[in-house]
A and B are shown apart, each in its own frame.
Chain A
Amino acid sequence: MVQERERVLPSFSTTQANITREDGLIVYEDMVLGRLFEDKCAEMYYRGKMFGFVHLYNGQEAVSSGVIKAMRKDDYVSSTYRDHVHALSAGVPAREVMAELFGKATGCSKGRGGSMHMFSSEHNLLGGYAFVAEGIPVATGAAFQSKYRREALGDPNADQVTACFFGDGASNNGQFFECLNMAALWKLPILFVVENNKWAIGMAHDRATSQPEIYKKAEVFDMAGVEVDGMDVLAVRAVAQEAVARARAGEGPTLIEALTYRFRGHSLADPDELRSKAEKDFWFARDPIKRLAAYLMEQNLATQEELKGINRRIQATIEEAVQFGLESPEPDPSELYRFVFAEDK
């Protein structure tokens, strides 16, 4: 049975939003980068410049930007097959993500990974994990590492936090429950961020789970669990800031369920036949970028001209990324075996 009505999105008063002009513009720019980058991916895919499975993030930008921009650069991020925008928020240059999509040697994974396997050790991006839920244990391990350094090795600077992103589909997998248990048991510094976009390809969330309110699953692990309007970047940011502070203080993990929606099909190969027009209209009306833009202007934190200027600058960044990707060399065939073992630098 498919859900007839939308879940009531948790309310968030903008008066609770405590964001400076500078941070507001950083978050805005990051969301625009995510949106325009993905639009360009669709164009390049249809023009035959990239191949394989390409899963776009349009509509969900508030989650990536809201969480990752509330973290430090030395914190860790793990993602799924829908990972381009998490990589961008984590600071991986757009040209390296685009070049990876083109399979080029200059890509962030040297052309070996592709759309679903973006990695960057420089940016503490633990990677895109293509099998559903398999990134959750890896992220839990990164969080364990922070605790290990701080407590077993006595390093006071080891207070890095890990943000682990995954979808509603993953929340029915054993690795999700196993890792919630271990993270709570050991009070690991981690944010489990569920991007509940209602659909695991064609499986409606309500048809796959006995308790659709995922954040409530934290409670049995004695873990903090919160739901948040995933279309409101300021709400996501506020929730993330609280969870990051809790993790950094050694007080344990948080399960954040962000209610969100993908504006496109599961992947560019998905005919998207199952989602109703009414459902799409409900969520299209909540575009997180338009919402933040309106807030910034209402609060006199930015003018329309400034925001347009950001859009133009990002568009130029993306054009440059495409150019870079197109002009970059293919991986050298003589290096087919490079990177199988650690000795290959």
Chain B
Amino acid sequence: MDESCALSSASPNSLSNLFTFVLATYTTSLRQEIEMAETLLYNALKEAIDEEMARDSQVFVLGEDVGHYGGSYKVTKDLYKKYGELRVLDTPIAENSFTGMAVGAAMTGLRPIIEGMNMGFLLLAFNQIANNAGMLRYTSGGNFKIPLVIRGPGGVGRQLGAEHSQRLEAYFQGVPGLKMVACSTPYNAKGLLKAAIRDDNPVLFFEHVLLYNLKQDLPSEDYVLPLDKAEVVQEGSDVTILTYSRMRHHVAQATKLLDKEGIGADVIDLISLKPIDFETVGASIRKTHRVIIVEECMKSGGIGAELSASIMDRFFDELDAPVIRLASQDIPTPYNGTLENLTIVQPPQIVEAAQKLATNRL
């Protein structure tokens, strides 16, 4: 990612250097440093949708500008030419109603994929997502199932302003019946989206607005990844780092430095935010006995808050130190670039937290 250059020039050892680091990041031009290869993440998502639509005629896409315009990030570009305007349905700007419409279509046997032009717009559809997508199967005593995917660009982008830079996981995690998945690489984006489309439950599928241009070699054959399994990104025995979505890449920058210092981080990309894969999380904690949670979600009531509490419930005896939560600030995302960078977790903070835990300097 683009911050790695700045990271090496800023001393990560003290939070007092964070401001310097943030400024350096802000003035660094936007560059992608992930290995360049075959498929861009947004095209991986398109391949997933295309393949599933070809495989199952009940699958269709709906949302704002998904058809003729090709989606706000071109994930559905030209699919309407292949599948027609009913299967790639351009909707009016009526989030709550077209989301409810997708629920009704799912109850009667179709498999809708909703694209939130920006996931933040789905706050306008909160009632349909919570009451009807999430709870209706239970409330109906199992009469209906709701195979529905709600996907789209989210997270904190670059100076998009508060409403387009939402951290929605906190809002949705309390809704019973919803699954929540966050992709982070082209490979897992494709395999997870295909699994979400095939799942019989409503799945909130989080894509990060700053990850769409990641590139990666993808297998040419069909593959599907499990929705409920965390991904072990790297193994280490000193500290467990639990993360997801874009923060996985911030963690990767931090671990480059930690590796040099001989601090072995066991990095886990949660993938499934609900339910959490506690089997994988637990196995790591039993190995390292130290945990850092790195998330872009807000600290209060966020994924990290829930995860931290659950770790206490399940693995208290395994812990040698309190769980450290690195989350974004409890403020609306500011427009100013420096303030925006201060709002979300930066790699030096991760490095510092890992150093403290590894040397018991808490």
State which residues 55-103 of B face A: CB under 8 Å: 57, 60, 84, 86-87, 91-92, 94, 96-103
Assess the B141–A111 pair: CB atoms within 8 A.
yes
Q: Which residue of B lies closest to A175 (CB)?
A: B97
Q: Tell me which residues across on chain B come within 8 A of A151, comparing CB atoms.
A: 86
Assess the B110–A127 pair: CB atoms within 8 A.
no
A285 contacts the other chain (Cβ, under 8 Å)?
no
Assess the B96–A175 pair: CB atoms within 8 A.
yes
State which residues 112-142 of A face B: CB under 8 Å: 112-113, 117, 119-121, 126-127, 129, 131, 134, 136-142
How far, in angstroms, from A148 to B329 measured CA to CA in the complex? 45
Known: A137-B98, A178-B94, A341-B201. A144 touches B104 (CB 8 A): yes
A278 contacts the other chain (Cβ, under 8 Å)?
no
Q: Tell me which residues across on chain A come within 8 A of B131, comparing CB atoms.
A: 131, 134
Contact residues of A: prevailing secondary structure = mixed
A1 contacts the other chain (Cβ, under 8 Å)?
no
Of the candidates A112, A131, A175, A178, the one whose C-beta lies within 8 Å of that of B138 is A112
Q: Tell me which residues across on chain B come within 8 A of A145, comparing CB atoms.
A: 104-105, 108-110
1/0 per residue A80-104: CB within 8 Å of B? 0000000000000000000000000
Known: A127-B136, A134-B132. A121 touches B143 (CB 8 A): yes
**Interface band, chain B:** 35 or more
**Interface band, chain A:** 35 or more
Known: A134-B132, A147-B86, A341-B177. A109 touches B127 (CB 8 A): no
A269 contacts the other chain (Cβ, under 8 Å)?
no
Known: A131-B131, A147-B86. A141 touches B139 (CB 8 A): no
Q: Which residue of A lies closest to B134 (CB)?
A: A340
How far, in angstroms, from A119 to B143 measured CA to CA in the complex? 7
Q: Which residue of A lies closest to B101 (CB)?
A: A141
Known: A148-B86, A148-B110, A342-B147. A141 touches B104 (CB 8 A): yes
How far, in angstroms, from A205 to B63 measured CA to CA in the complex? 34
Q: Tell me which residues across on chain B come within 8 A of A178, comparing CB atoms.
A: 92, 94, 96-98
A2 contacts the other chain (Cβ, under 8 Å)?
no
How far, in angstroms, from A151 to B136 measured CA to CA in the complex? 28
Assess the B177–A137 pair: CB atoms within 8 A.
no
How far, in angstroms, from A343 to B228 measured CA to CA in the complex? 14
Of the candidates B127, B141, B199, B200, the one whose C-beta lies within 8 Å of that of A131 is B127
Assess the B108–A76 pair: CB atoms within 8 A.
yes
How far, in angstroms, from A136 to B98 measured CA to CA in the complex? 10
13 pairs, CB–CB < 8 Å, chain A vs chain B? A112-B141, A120-B143, A126-B144, A137-B103, A137-B128, A138-B101, A138-B104, A141-B103, A141-B105, A142-B105, A145-B110, A147-B86, A174-B97
Listed in ascending order, the chain B residues whose CB lies under 8 Å from chain A are 57, 60, 84, 86-87, 91-92, 94, 96-110, 127-128, 131-132, 136-147, 176-177, 199-201
